[in-house]
Structure 1
Amino acid sequence: MSIRKRALSAGLTVTILLGGAVALAPAANAVGGHSKCTQDSNFNGKVAVVNVNLRKGPGTSYGSYGQLTKGGKVFVDCFRQTDVTKVPWLYIKVNSGAHKGLRGWVRNDLIYWPLAQ
């Protein structure tokens, strides 16, 4: 077999193998059910301070769905932390209060966790 045919065959094999690996990789939104999450979590918590914004995304540049009151119960699905020097953002489901059932983002330092169920 010529060198050109061997190179073509090797390249095709690598392409097929990598394509298979990509096809078997989990979707980005498989982590915690949200595409912006970088790590799974499954724990209960409470809002630690007065009037915490429940955000539409993991950052203060995202709009707010409204404010959560201190002591409100939440369930943390997952979190996002792209840099260890930055505060993580939690993707939560609100379990009590005016926004019960709504999902959104809250900074990690604004939630007490983990709490027993």
Structure 2
Amino acid sequence: MKITALARVGAAAATGVVLLTGGAVALAPAANAVGGHSRCTADANYTGKVRVANVNLRKGPGTSHKSYGQLTKGARVYVDCYRQPDITKQPWLYVKVKSGAHTGKRGWVRNDLVR
């Protein structure tokens, strides 16, 4: 079977493959991103607390990404998943803030800043 086209389908993080075979069109099942975010490399699924004051909640996994604001020490976060860029770099956690000024907001926090 020859794959002749790729198409994006479904929700923001889901993708599918369109297969054209003799005039028939079939959609491959959409795959969900790990932990609900396309930049994640593994699931985490736990609740943690921010270890230090003034931790940036970032738009992406890295210091080059914009900060949505700062989390205070002790703020609770639910960790959906994480991204490990490579073995020499600190992992980044994709979190949903559960307490404090940014409650309900999702973003990225460096792993060593959450316990």
TM band (smaller chain): 0.7 to 0.9
Post-superposition Cα deviations, 1:74-115, rounded to whole Å, max 9, x if no partner, equal 000000012011100000000000000000000000000xxx
Indicate whether 1:26 and 2:18 are aligned. Answer: no
Greater percentage in strand: 2
Amino acid at match of 2:48: G
**Which residue pairs with 1:40 in the alignment?**
43
**Which residue pairs with 1:7 in the alignment?**
none
Q: Structure 1: which 5+ residue stretches go unaligned? A: 1-12, 113-117
Amino acid at match of 1:102: K
What is the total number of aligned residue pairs between the two structures? Answer: 95
Post-superposition Cα deviations, 1:61-83, rounded to whole Å, max 9, x if no partner, equal 00000000001100000000120
- Given candidates 32, 40, 59, the residue that maps to 2:62 is 59
**Which residue pairs with 1:106 in the alignment?**
109
**Which residue pairs with 2:86 in the alignment?**
83
Query: Could you tell me the TM-score, scaled by structure 2's length?
Result: 0.75
Q: Percent identity?
A: 69
CA-CA distance at 1:41 after TM superposition? 1.1
CA distance in 2, matches of 1:25, 1:54: 29
Q: Structure 2: which 5+ residue stretches go unaligned? A: 4-17, 20-27
Amino acid at match of 2:70: Q
SS in 1 for 2:86: coil
CA distance in 2, matches of 1:38, 1:55: 17
- Structure with higher RCO (Cα < 8 A, 6+ apart): 1
Query: Could you tell me the TM-score, scaled by structure 1's length?
Result: 0.74
